[in-house]
Structure 1
């Protein structure tokens, strides 16, 4: 799926706040053809390698954080994908300029005030230009695309009816517990002592069920002890299997037998159960409308970019021209 400008992939601030350092660049919007200092041109507008590198650094960091070995081949692949996105960015910016989209200087001033220029090897003027580009594109998308998209209640209802499984709220229980810790590294004597303690607490809890919270506060060894062992509501799959099975098998007000998990020994009291249900349409109508609006916005941006690429003159340094007749991918 083609990245759109609602994504953070090309957000200037993600680059600047990650303290990406790029060498000072030549003015990026000079007339030029690809050279050693120019990564690509779009309709004669040159984008420098320094700008590409500014956006490239957080992408490389992200790949490393995901455990990918940063080989020359991977770096080249990421760089090429980034150039493709930056071409789209420039095409949208040029389209916004043709639509006479304007931006108040106060908006740029406000964003500049949030940026620490130390460690950024770009001039203040260059950073202002990058901010202007990002915000002009956003304004164009909001004013010229999103503003013309209407999502009716009927549209939202149709999506809801066709995707009911997405609105299922699973069965949940509200429970508290008392934990006595015991791990695999405990000696038999330590395990026996922990078991003796939890058995004694179970007797006390069942004799004084209304005081379960106070018992948990005084004796539980889990992080929920200060809350009286309160775990709130949780659904299936959120707790380790033995704990989940015991909790969901209880009736409201019941206290479990001792339950052993990898964390130790537990006593569980279940307070309330909410059966699984379909979330009512009225509760999700606005969310659905926002989702559909974003989806249609992205589709229109993708179609617009396909059209702009066909008409554009794009030159990439040391690379073959991009395929402007590529298959549309916004629905994949």
Structure 2
């Protein structure tokens, strides 16, 4: 039986990473997962957010320098076995956050959520330990904030959320024990996750009340209606602070290309292939057929820069844009497809609206920043 209580938990991470609607899901998708260097930890509260219509889009940063030449240990299928020194027991204190202890056993649970089939250097193991500890530190900081600033969750609200979870698991043909095993959690920990999730949702209502959230919804309705546009572009890169002469010359060149395309003297694809400064000039479709300039399908927010999205979503299929300027430079945009989407109403998606606005507003990171600034954090795990 899931018990109604509070305590240490995993909490939602809503950083500046980008989101998009999953085209193959029908409303029941989940918010973001926290991504670490070579480590992904999925918090179990996430399945509770069945009203959300977002999935995280994340990319591991490219490695630009070779790893240090530190002797590697033999590969192991167990995460923590080769990362945590064997001399440290589960009860050893890994970190202390405002007097609250994080134990090595908790760090091990995070590291054990995925295997590491390749040998790791000492530096890589250190990075993984630090990343895992940082996840737990953030969890504690946010939980402490919620405990201080958000009212406690009532029994009725908690029970309703448990019923929602059980119904969602039934759809997936999973049992609660199976769900807990997959996430490496106990029932007590899951109960704490449910409480944290409900407190987070309550905080969003306070930060983004209905009247303001509705304005955000109306301004971004195509996003919540799940409208997608597919587009190609031609890019001329400009420096961060281009001179008037640099910009004028680039604009003039774009206008020449635009006129050539509109009059049939050249094709968009030919100019994109020969002149675009974007890697998409070498794009191909699923059959390896060249599609120069194609950047694929995207929603109204979080995937392409706002100026690009605003222009693309204002256009019809097969329409060519005027010259558009973004932080990347100048663009000519060709819309090659767009979906009708699924008309929504604010009342039906307002919880999702708040989640998205919080992401757009960097709320989670702003709160964490204040908590870190004003808190006392001591990491003891080497």
TM-score class normalised by the smaller sequence = 0.3 to 0.5
TM-score (norm 2): 0.40
Bigger Rg, structure 1 or 2: 1
TM-score (norm 1): 0.45
